[in-house]
Structure 1
Amino acid sequence: MKLTVVGGGSTYTPELIDGFARLRDTLPMEELVLMDPATDRLELIGALARRIFARQGHTGTITTTTDLDTAVDGADAVLLQLRVGGQAAREQDETWPLDCGCVGQETTGAGGLAKALRTVPVVLDIADRVRRTNPTAWIIDFTNPVGIVTRALLKEGHKAVGLCNVAIGFQRKFAALLGVTPADVHLDHVGLNHLTWETGVRLGGPEGENVLPKLLTDHGDTIAADLHLPRTLLDRLAVVPSYYLRYYYAHDEVVRELRTKPSRAAEVAAMERQLLELYADPALDEKPELLSKRGGAYYSEAAVDLAAALLSGAGSPHQVVNTYNNGTLPFLPDDAVIEVQAAIGPTGPAPLSVPALDPLYAGLMANVTAYEDLALDAALRGGRDRVFRALLAHPLVGQYAYADTLTDQLIAHNQEHLAWA
């Protein structure tokens, strides 16, 4: 088995390598290719990856390359983890929307749209080259904004599945609170990427006992503190929203906070410098503790589980992924990309049935789905008016004056990445 990681020079990669090494029985591979145009980082991380494999006794080979066609040739699966424009572009995404009193964030709102416009054309070019070189390969997308990127891939007919670590993070946290193993916890997870709710927490599988009410009663304060939302809100909702819902449920509060502290991009950039220094130590042969603060917790375990299920039918039978709606949520178009539990196998994901949703959640999902449709149109065809329409549709923007100003700001800060600008 051969796997390729596009964006292999990311500081995330040692997390992925550690998972591949630990879970080699679930996902046995003979060859892993790390592909990245950043040669210096790529070689540094490639060397660390080989040391991690050696320490944990993995016999697979790890190669590095800057050539995409070479990297994907013969690959069974290609994992995408890209950041077009790097942390410098993220820094912009998180700052200029604040001038209008709108959330500055890299995956939602105006900043999220900027990231989508930069990313979709690049990912589609990569996917086209994968298909020409190796049409049978699965593409697993971890590149944000995952929902929009996955929708672009599927719309073009690629064998693609989107992956996010929010669900597996909740699974691990709830298992610890309940005193059970993560495999015992099945989430009734529903929504769009970075717009999800846990409407049930079941023990033993999809038909198991729903212990969410007890979880909220016994551990609501802990869960609320992790989400930076009030316990009273969780009690009133009787569900657990993802932490990204705070941008919607406490928008103005978040804007005030963001205006008074360094951006997350600045924090991550500083952390990346420290991580690269650690990775350069030839004695380091495991992922450093600092990496846990970088984000992407449990990404490797989710990726291994998904790749194993797609390639061999191994791994967990039900996993949370981003895929076509296809009637799962009747209030959304079939070609909307949703994030739900699905049965996973070599033919791809098949979403499990979802009970009727409260309009409180269905309405917001429908609104953001409409925005994502307009965002994808803007990413594929460009043009100021398409950007404006997407921003006007987004519930975190919504006012024409803000949408006008943010459109100009977005284009000004991203001209080098927008072929049409």
Structure 2
Amino acid sequence: MKIVLLGGGGFRTPLMCTALQSIAERVSVSELVLHDVSLERLQRMRLVLDGLGDRGEGRLPVRVTTDLDEAVDGADFVWCAIRVGGLEGRLIDEQVPVREGVVGQETTGPGGVCFALRSLPALLEIARVVERRARHAWFINFTNPVGLVVEALQPVLGSRVIGVCDTPSGLCSRVSRLLARPSSELWFDYFGLNHLGWLRAVVDESGDHLPELLADDAAVCQLHEAGLFGVERLRQLGMIPNEYLYYYEHAKSAVDAVRHGRGRADYLLAQQRAFYTAGFATPAEAAAGWRAAWRQRERSYMAEAMARGEAEVEAEVEVEPSPGYAAVAAQLLEALARNTRRVLILNTANRGGLACLDAQAIVEVPCVVDGQGAAPVAVGDVPPAAESLMQTIKHVERLTIRAAAESSTAQHL
């Protein structure tokens, strides 16, 4: 099986390889091709992977290339994690809206729209190459804004394009830990769009356990989302919002935080410039440098979370980097490749998942995955406020897609 990672020179590539290594024997990976527009970044990542190989994380048969046609030719799976414009582009996406007094964030609001407008022409060209050179490949998208990108690529790739985000699965994992139950024993009633969703119920054969969690002062205060929204807000909703709803409910606080501190993109740009230009002499040095940079990056997330009053503490920074969304993608790949049924929260065409949106709208809901693809589960009626917000954001997404396709300033405005 040939797997291609577009954006293979990116900082998260070792996490992707770790996730793939965990399933490599079960899905018979014959080749992993890393593609990037930057040969220098590919060479740096190859050096890191060689250094991680002694610990069992780099044993996949890896090849690197800057030739897109060569990379995707005959591929079975294409993972897309490109960032058009790099972190320099993200910095602009974050800073310009804040200067105008609105949220500057790479997936939400004007920042997300600008990121999409910059990315979609390149992504559509990639999709056309995949359709031509690897017609039967599954295209797994990580590039933000995930749902918008999947909707834009759907006319070219059809149901074989699926979006992956680890925010819902991370929320579900935290909830299952607080309930002291394995995730596999619970049904998570989650609905929404990417970065715009809600966990409405956590169900097993005995009923819904979310109300008891929200009523438990000690437990609910440990939730990351309780720090963002407040315990009383969660109880008022009777649901747990996706963390990105913070940018809708607390927009002024989000703007003020960036105005009075260092933006996320600013920090990451400086850190990654240092990592990619460091003079590592050996694979071992490169791997150690990558691990150190990853730990520093995670600590910075924790520091920002604590500054917002969230519940996490620095001690929770993991010694070993977690694969995050790469782990979700590996589970998806295995279910598709082996035709084994698995339920995952994914971004795919609605087809009845949410009654308030049409069949072709890309939604983020639980899906039953097997060799035929990802089939969304119908989640029933949703609260009116959530329905209205989803419909509004979906309209914005579609106008953005039209603006990119037509190079239309009028559509954008």
TM-score higher than 0.5: yes
What residue number does 2:291 align with? 288
Cα distance in 2 for partners of 1:297, 1:185 equals 22
Q: CA deviation at 1:147?
A: 0.8
Letter in 2 for 1:282: P
What residue number does 1:7 align with? 7
Q: 1:280 to 1:256 in 2, by over 3 A?
A: farther
Give yes or no for the alignment of 1:327 onto 2:348: no
Secondary structure of the structure 2 residue equivalent to 1:373: helix
Cα distance in 2 for partners of 1:96, 1:239 equals 33
Cα distance in 2 for partners of 1:183, 1:51 equals 34
What residue number does 1:149 align with? 149
Q: 1:191 to 1:280 in 2, by over 3 A?
A: farther
Q: CA deviation at 1:100?
A: 2.1
What residue number does 1:318 align with? 343
Cα distance in 1 for partners of 2:232, 2:247 equals 17
Q: 1:39 to 1:248 in 2, by over 3 A?
A: same
Contact 1:169–1:297 (CA under 8 A) maintained in structure 2 = no
Q: CA deviation at 1:13?
A: 0.7
Contact 2:131–2:156 (CA under 8 A) maintained in structure 1 = no
Q: CA deviation at 1:48?
A: 2.1
What residue number does 1:191 align with? 192
Letter in 2 for 1:168: S
Q: CA deviation at 1:359?
A: 0.5
Q: 1:208 to 1:299 in 2, by over 3 A?
A: farther
Contact 1:141–1:160 (CA under 8 A) maintained in structure 2 = yes
Secondary structure of the structure 2 residue equivalent to 1:376: helix
Cα distance in 2 for partners of 1:274, 1:196 equals 35
Give yes or no for the alignment of 1:379 onto 2:404: yes
Q: 1:335 to 1:307 in 2, by over 3 A?
A: same
Cα distance in 2 for partners of 1:6, 1:144 equals 14
Q: CA deviation at 1:86?
A: 0.4
What residue number does 1:55 align with? 55
Q: 1:140 to 1:324 in 2, by over 3 A?
A: same
TM-score normalised over the length of structure 1: 0.85
Q: CA deviation at 1:301?
A: 0.8
Secondary structure of the structure 1 residue equivalent to 2:78: strand
Structure 1 unmatched runs, 5+: 389-421
Letter in 2 for 1:241: P
Q: 1:311 to 1:359 in 2, by over 3 A?
A: same
Q: CA deviation at 1:25?
A: 4.2
Cα distance in 2 for partners of 1:84, 1:8 equals 13
Equivalenced residue count is 384
Q: CA deviation at 1:200?
A: 1.3
Cα distance in 2 for partners of 1:171, 1:14 equals 24
Residues 107-151 of structure 1: CA deviation (Å, up to 9, x unaligned): 111111101101111111011111111101110000001111100
Residues 251-290 of structure 1: CA deviation (Å, up to 9, x unaligned): 1121121211111101112332454449775215586264
What residue number does 1:400 align with? none
Structure 2 unmatched runs, 5+: 302-321
What residue number does 1:22 align with? 22
After TM superposition, the structure 1 stretch with the greater mean CA deviation from structure 2, 231-240 or 178-187, is 178-187
Q: What are the within-5 Å matches in structure 2 for residues 227-376 of structure 1?
A: 227-276=227-276, 277=278, 281-283=282-284, 288=291, 290-291=293-294, 293=297, 298-314=324-340, 317-376=342-401
Letter in 1 for 2:377: L
Residues 341-366 of structure 1: CA deviation (Å, up to 9, x unaligned): 00111211110110211112111111
Secondary structure of the structure 1 residue equivalent to 2:136: coil
TM-score normalised over the length of structure 2: 0.87
**Which of 209, 212, 215 in structure 2 is aligned with 1:214?**
212
Secondary structure of the structure 2 residue equivalent to 1:196: strand
Residues 168-188 of structure 1: CA deviation (Å, up to 9, x unaligned): 211222232223334334321
Q: CA RMSD in A?
A: 2.2
Secondary structure of the structure 2 residue equivalent to 1:34: strand
Secondary structure of the structure 2 residue equivalent to 1:283: helix
Contact 2:18–2:323 (CA under 8 A) maintained in structure 1 = no
What residue number does 1:32 align with? 32
After TM superposition, the structure 1 stretch with the greater mean CA deviation from structure 2, 223-232 or 379-388, is 223-232
Contact 2:18–2:58 (CA under 8 A) maintained in structure 1 = no
